[in-house]
Chain A
């Protein structure tokens, strides 16, 4: 078995904005997927809100995701057969929310896509698709938003727009935001930055300190890893 992610210990406090950086294949997406319960670790434990999710079955994980976790993917992953509005509606309808439609309209407004409500994904640009995906991720007001290189498939202007939108919504809703990215400028804005390489955490500078001179400095809190953690995957 190939080890994607070695042993690591992470505690992410409520409301924190974290970025995960590292080269391709360093295990960033796997880490995110594990936190979202999209995959299960071969060893170790993941707790969300103090509750272990490692032993949960598929259905319990789905419910947990619906309730607490929003996810934004690099390649958007909108449902092609649904319109923008309907894509945003889906999580709320799954939860049986009463005011789903009004909320979806509001979210469309938040991402500035009211005019595109009845367009299908194939009729939207990449940036627009990702904004719909963000609206969908925020649909149930999740406590945690996980984003896997959300700007990776976008040009810099659109990427910037999407990024700002996420940070802005995160601030407004006080969500914990964990963002996987290649781009260092983006990670500079975060509260905490985790660097991965070959499946190991190489740095975790979790405090952003502004020095007297006005420059920023990060303090590395990483402890050397001991036992490797194996994650299943291809």
Chain B
């Protein structure tokens, strides 16, 4: 044992520099895992410990409809004996405009009416740091998000109009209690709850959401939630406690954490491939030392273990460095993104994450060096007597195969452990194997083709092509890893460009880009005329009725079932339906027969194809089997504003959502719903300029205060931001892989540098000037970069095409700037890195080199 440790220590003294770059890859991979896991664990802790503050209470009951007296009575009956405090809110999207008619602009906001006591949990601070004071909003006061002031150029003290009332802005907020997450249609505005009703925003057709919040003693929370759910199970209200959100969030976070870890694993596996190659070259270079050791009595096994100890040491060092690197990333995130992340977030390194990173780093080093280290067994001591003594190897090396199998198994276990599932682990490994395999084959092929060009007349180019085939050179591995990084970066860039192009407003001039909602039936004529007057075109006005599904094929949906509750999103959500005699151009019947244009008093519906197969209950499998899923001929029972209505499904439609900005899951045949309470939505093409669009919104809202105008441009901007952020994250991963590619490049060059030094010495002796030698280097790395860039770029075309067509279902177009620019950038990167890593060989004096050989 002592020998093994001593040997490992002494050998490392000499060889660590050569192995360094590969273990730097380990450091990057481990750093990515440690930083990702720590970050998400911190967020998890922050958000779950803040779950109560995020909900602003212990328990919340919410509904999309006005509370009925019965519901309120039931809630009170259950809650009164238990709760400590209670408060109510109403939230509604609506329009806001400056009261001063000379002040331009109007915009969609998210209005929240609150009562004294809000929030029951958490702080409510104004932007100036002072605590929120309820008196600020009393008597038609408003506290608004800072973003609103920016957008409409308003100041504290200005009056604004919301619905039919005027409010004075008396304070601003940066972060609202419980909020700040998710997609927002507009900035938040707080007013008194009673004032929401006063402004006429809670009447028929309003989209107001009402919430009742409670605090209760911790041990009474579960019974309270259970009793509320029992009592309200048929009321279509939601009950939730912060503890449940805590559990849900925790689960989601740990899943996110596992996926983030896979990013680090990609880098680690690539680093591992580098390690595997470098270990092979390293053992080749150590052939004589190993022979000497065998000659003086060391067994193959002990030598193998001594070299294994070196690899493990480097693995530990690399992983340790990775943990530091992870810490650095966390500090950077805190510095750069702290204002975009929750204020109560911490940025410390998590011990669990660090230990996992360490373990994974060491395991990967071990697994990838195992096979090359087995070569030690085949080195015969007689190489000391004869240079040319061959490596003898048995016909079937059983140990090698067993080790290879164990390595694969080990790798699968490590990946599955990190991914949190064997299935994901298998997919990940399989996907990575296919991708790297394909890149490797492509690299081999391209390099072979380049070799065919050896007859070129340029001396430098000829030498460079030869250099790509230098024994021990890691050309294919370098090309593969760099190619993979380039592939990821270019794919995301190209996909981003395609996605943003799809969102581009100007391109789809034929589709409406402004929407009107909440138009009352008696306002339709007035709205239509005004739009005509402002834009020269009439808006398309569509009646909408909000309904819920209560039964399928006569079987009531049982919401007390947990399965049904999970499906609830699909089943019990409010469906916005319409009625019309004909199909739209973006619709196609896929089953059944669409009705004749004539109205019919017999209720008939046409459903969208994704609703096919829905069932009302899952607990009774017999019923389930008997009734089958929703299909042509089934019946659907709806709750239309409190009235039950059963309709027969006569057709199923495919809706091309892309080719329209409206679409309905459920469509009624005319003749049934005309008299039901309904609201109209409208769509039209607004003017091009931003100022004109804003002015138009203002004019419409001035005349019809209850109507909201949604500018698609605003929505597109919000989506664009999200797309850019996601693509930035993916590009980040690609950049990390490129970085490890660069490290593997440097490491491989360092490994074979002595050959290069010798060649340069010989060429110098033969009369080559340094300029020629430099040209050889540039040509070699340029070729390498070209091959890697072409492979990455070609693969990226494939990926971005596939994702565009089949995942996002958008038309794909080639992005020459991204693709060719990417190839150029790769050539530049590889040439610069490679040349910098080897330029010192040019300045060595040849004599010393030649003498040493």
Q: Which residues of A contact B (CB under 8 A)?
A: 29-30, 32-33, 36, 38-39, 58-59, 62-67, 71, 73, 77-82, 86, 89-91, 93-96, 136, 139-140, 148, 233-234
Contacts and interface: CB of A to CB of B under 8 A. Distances in A.
Contact of B10 (A39, A77, A82): A82
B298 A62 contact: yes
Given A38-B385, A66-B296, A59 B301 contact: yes
B2 A96 contact: yes
A93 B15 CA distance: 21
Interface string B1-35: 01100110011011100000000000000000000
A78 B3 CA distance: 17
Smallest CB-CB A-B distances: 3 pairs: A66-B297, A81-B14, A93-B3
B10 A233 contact: no
B11 A38 contact: no
B299 A77 contact: no
A228 B852 CA distance: 40
A93 B2 CA distance: 7
A63 B382 contact: no
9 contacts: A38-B384, A62-B297, A62-B300, A62-B381, A77-B291, A79-B292, A81-B15, A89-B6, A96-B2
Contact of A62 (B7, B299, B384): B299
Contacts of A139: 296
Contacts of B296: 65-66, 71, 90-91, 94, 136, 139
B405 interface: no
A200 B167 CA distance: 116
Nearest to A234: B388
Contacts of B2: 93, 96
Contacts of B451: none
Nearest to A58: B300
Contacts of A234: 386, 388-390
Contact of B3 (A73, A77, A96): A96
Contact of B385 (A29, A81, A96): A29
B299 A63 contact: yes
Nearest to B12: A81
B850 interface: no
A113 B297 CA distance: 24
Contacts of A67: 297
Given A81-B15, A90-B293, A94-B297, A38 B382 contact: yes
A interface: dominant SS: helix
B403 interface: no
Contacts of A80: 14, 289
B375 interface: no
Nearest to A81: B14
B125 interface: no
B299 A59 contact: yes
Contacts of B14: 80-81
A199 to B, nearest CB: 15
B382 A39 contact: yes
Indicate the member of A30, A38, A59, A93 with the most B CB atoms within 10 Å.
Answer: A38
A234 B289 CA distance: 21
Given A38-B381, A39-B380, A93-B2, A140 B297 contact: yes
Contact of B302 (A30, A39, A86, A94): A94
Contact of A33 (B297, B377, B385): B385
A66 to B, nearest CB: 2
A102 B232 CA distance: 88
Given A62-B300, A65-B296, A93-B7, 4 more contacts: A33-B382, A80-B289, A90-B3, A148-B385
B295 interface: yes
Contacts of B297: 62-67, 91, 94-95, 140
Interface in B281-305: 288-289, 291-302
A39 B386 CA distance: 11
A78 B300 CA distance: 18
A16 to B, nearest CB: 22
Contacts of A58: 294, 299-300, 377
B497 to A, nearest CB: 52
Contact of B11 (A81, A91, A93, A148): A81
B554 to A, nearest CB: 80
B6 to A, nearest CB: 6
A135 B377 CA distance: 27
Contacts of A78: 292
Nearest to B293: A90
Given A58-B299, A234-B388, A77 B288 contact: yes
Contacts of A73: 384-385
Contacts of B289: 79-81
A60 to B, nearest CB: 8
Interface string B651-687: 0000000000000000000000000000000000000
Interface string B379-411: 011101110111000000000000000000000
B3 A94 contact: yes
Contacts of A79: 289, 292-293
Contacts of B11: 81
A59 B304 CA distance: 12
Contacts of A36: 295, 381
Contacts of A30: 385
A36 B291 CA distance: 13
A86 B295 contact: no
A32 B293 CA distance: 18
Contacts of A89: 6
A33 B14 CA distance: 30
Contacts of A94: 3, 293, 296-298, 302
Given A81-B15, A233-B389, A66 B298 contact: yes
Contacts of A59: 299-301
B170 to A, nearest CB: 77
A103 to B, nearest CB: 14
Contacts of A96: 2-3
A132 to B, nearest CB: 12
Indicate the member of B14, B288, B298, B302 with the most A CB atoms within 10 Å.
Answer: B298
Nearest to A78: B292
B570 to A, nearest CB: 67
A71 B3 contact: no
Contacts of B10: 81-82, 86
A226 to B, nearest CB: 27
B300 A65 contact: no
Nearest to B5: A93
Contacts of B385: 29-30, 32-33, 38-39, 73, 148
A49 to B, nearest CB: 16
B295 A71 contact: yes
Nearest to B384: A77
Interface string B592-610: 0000000000000000000
A185 B3 CA distance: 40
B324 to A, nearest CB: 28
Indicate the member of A67, A80, A90 with the most B CB atoms within 10 Å.
Answer: A90
Interface string B565-582: 000000000000000000
Interface string B348-392: 000000000000000000000000000001001110111011100
A36 B302 CA distance: 20
Contacts of B389: 233-234
Indicate the member of B295, B377, B381 with the most A CB atoms within 10 Å.
Answer: B295
Nearest to A92: B3
A96 B298 CA distance: 11
A67 B2 CA distance: 18
Nearest to A82: B10
Contacts of A82: 10
A91 B11 CA distance: 15
A52 B388 CA distance: 27
Contact of B380 (A38, A65, A77): A38
Indicate the member of B11, B296, B381, B384 with the most A CB atoms within 10 Å.
Answer: B296
Nearest to A120: B14
A109 B389 CA distance: 35
Interface string B709-725: 00000000000000000
